[in-house]
Chain A
């Protein structure tokens, strides 16, 4: 249906533009890291007396930021 609307008008954005990029796949990593609790559901090894369960998940936060930044800066360049 959009084709009918699109006919006879200049495109809104350059046809070459795309959000697709293989770098987008890194966005899955943080999901894999925290959505399977048996991976980290234990008390040891502790870090600064904090059980593994807690510091592991806190440590994934900067990892997820890194993945998002990768997708942001590398995405669209292909």
Chain B
């Protein structure tokens, strides 16, 4: 046994099921792999289940794994299984749509497929795949621990718990069409889902490990997940803060010092709900987490000497944000939507683009749904051509829910109402409510620039377009003005009128997530106009070996974005402090390339 890993709280008296959850890119899979190795080394047979769409578990262990339980020869006692949620969702769609392909008109089949192409379906399909592992079967009996590098969301579990959600589905297959589209094709018996949900909520059998970084946005997200899953019975929770920058490695590198200070501040302001959880901190490692040796060291507190950070850094040559804004400005007006996962800096990028457009004398309306929109608010009234507005996503979503419940919900019985209420807690609902709230402002894009820090997914747009509801809404809004109009979908598909900027980080998972968002938009006929790679260390000149190593890793990701994913792109450097105010945002736009930076 490794005495160092013994010190990790989340490994103490490990129960049968361990779930690792957290935002993309925080290191869930690495920690799950390292945990699996550690527990197997203690002589307990372990099954590791990865649902990462870009699972590198096979690569880590040097064998092909895939969708069947495969023993890992290099680690006695360890077996692994990879579930690809996208493939699971596709198989699930094929199960429903396959039998009618060629029988029903093609556009009808496409419509059905779209209904089953949302994030909820992907999650349910993945849950469907691993539900058998949570109930005692011959398949899993041999394992003392089963580790998952993901966890179902509260929304999914709550849905599965509602009796109303199942009415008429698995049993009779007729009866009222339920709200639960994604549950329609579930193969397994309801009893098995109940057993799986019970296992999740059993503190003796299940531990949830919240993985976060020492960053406010990921910690806030962990706090939300904590509250949501604790409410449905997953009370055994641990917090792991991964990749904490070691203070002693920050010497005389201003950026590293700034990172250490920012992380310390984030940890000082830890959300109260998280502060009471048993917590572990894993320092940032000076090595790449690939291969068994590296993973064995991940959970150890031993400090291998900082390896050579590679060849000297040559300045990154990449377009800065200003070059993108040049092209945007040329059209004189239009809708600019910043899209990306939480925490990548959409609001900052939106503010920077807006400021740079306004500085050129162009009329700009910056509108944000960031609940902590102090950044945007400080801009209000600071530039002549710039107006700023904000909608509160919680407020508009609550109003939307209340409206639906008051209309649709009024006629439902208690069970039906419970299902509807849960339906209204899905992420899609918030997306729709927020986008709807923005729709009035969006119309201004015909005569000025409207810059938004959010965008609907392609899936949502396709559904809105298919039901015609969005179309009707716009007809109603524009009907009296007498002007000609295109459908909102046409407006979004026309790059002259609408530009979607995908914001991401130069790391594997965030780039993959952005590529998925792009594929989703393309399904809706919308081609993202450009990618912005934010918080790039490679776009800075750093001395700290840890940061230089990270800069080297980033190069490969930036290269992938530039050559494989993006039509246009820009790289924005990691800054020492948050850019607040016109002056700082302006610097951010211009100082993309390190050789232009005065450090």
Do A and B make up one complex?
A: no
Binding site for A on B (CB under 8 A): none
